[in-house]
Amino acid sequence: MRTAPVLLAGALLLAGCGKSDAPPTDDPVADSPATGESATDAPAVEPTAAMGEQIFRRCVACHTVDKGGRHGIGPNLHGIVGAPVAAKAGFSYSGAMKAKGGVWDEAALDAYLKAPMKDVPGTRMAFAGVVDATDRKALILYLQAQK
């Protein structure tokens, strides 16, 4: 009869599955996501610069963010948000990055950080990208604070 406690514990665990913390309402609009949204579209947490600092730890093997800091394998990223693309003095950019042009605004950074080699084919940045949109937003917030 050793299996009875294990089966009882499993049944109790399964009984809790699928329960919602929110009480049900009679209003179908209140119980459904807003138009054009799904429950998975909303970020679980609001991204912050502090979260971005943690995410930036993935980048420190190649980049620095210190004012006047050295370039590494990649350019120093201090003041990168709002700066022209491929314009950090003293860093040797790839031809692909030089050809990209434009400014590193939030949209450009988001596209590049999502998939660097897809956004700028021929870039020397051998990094797959930051897949999670919340993580990218947090990273951009952190980079914005580095000015």
State pLDDT tens for residues 86-139. 999 999 999 999 999 999 999 999 999 999 999 999 999 999 999 999 999 999
130: domain CATH number is 1.10.760.10
Cα angle 141, 74, 65; round to 5: 40
pTM of the complete model: 0.70
Does some domain include residue 7?
A: no
Does some domain include residue 128?
A: yes
What's the number of domains the chain is made of? 1
Does some domain include residue 136?
A: yes
Q: Is the pLDDT of residue 26 over 70?
A: no
Q: Per the structure block, which two tokens stand in for 90?
A: 């003293």
Mean pLDDT of 5-30: 40
Question: Whole domain around residue 61: which residue ranges?
Answer: 44-145
**Residue 83 CB neighbours (<10 A):** 16
Instruction: Find the helix packing angle between 133-145 and 49-56, rounded to 10°.
Output: 100
